[in-house]
Structure 1
């Protein structure tokens, strides 16, 4: 039996953080929404059932057992900040690449004009 500081409340909070309704979890577990509600009121559940719930929530049983809302919020914000940093970096790279592409296109156009002038000169001499 898993006895980890009101496991049902942790399951409920993880479900909510995953933006999952009780009905969705119930369908994944093959039980009714009322059974999920009752599950979320339990102080403890057996390890085998915890494994099933964890799979349905897309987390590990340990993630449920050790769930800490403050840590989860911290992780969310940290990952969010890192994702924003990555997106900003990606945007800067994209802008830089677009500038380089524009510069290369201008250089190609200049070389085409130079080439056309050389062909004209050669035609006049020949």
Structure 2
């Protein structure tokens, strides 16, 4: 008995594609106008008729061929083919931080402290003024 997963298990491919697209079974249920058991049956089926496969592909936002040819190895090589060229492209050339965030945080706390000191001084001045009025 082999423990390998059959590469052409359409249901598993559908399940994996919906997982990668962050689409829950409930969303497929609504898109296909069916119930949870039917979706589970589709995901557990090795083969699906072409019409149903076309409906599922449309609901997932992919082509029938994408489902049929889906494999984890292809996905890994697909995502590994991306390169981050943002440093070399246009407006993203100067995206390096020119200040220390901790320095900015300390500066903010110091400004806050100065504001509290001014507020406290204003309250003291107000109390002093009111005491002068009461003593007259």
The verdict on a shared fold, with TM-score over 0.5 as the criterion, is yes
**1:28 maps to what in 2?**
31
Q: Secondary structure at the match of 2:44?
A: coil
Larger Rg: 2
Match of 1:62 in 2: 65
In structure 1, distance between residues paired with 2:55 and 2:87: 39
Please, which runs of 5 or more residues in structure 1 have no aligned partner?
96-126
Pairing partner for 1:75 from 78, 84, 87: 78
Q: Which residue of 1 aligns with 2:87?
A: 88
TM-score (norm 2): 0.58
Match of 2:126 in 1: none
Count residues in correspondence.
Answer: 86
Which contiguous aligned blocks of 4+ residues in structure 1 show a shift greater than 6 angstroms?
none
Report the TM-score, using the length of structure 1 for normalisation: 0.63
| Aligned counterparts of 1:88 and 1:36: Cα–Cα separation in 2 | 44
Q: 1:83-117 deviations in whole A, cap 9, x for unaligned?
A: x32x322311xx4xxxxxxxxxxxxxxxxxxxxxx
Unaligned runs of 5+ in 2: 1-6, 95-136
Q: Distance in 2 between matches of 1:36 and 1:88?
A: 44
**SS of equivalent residue, structure 1 residue 89:** coil
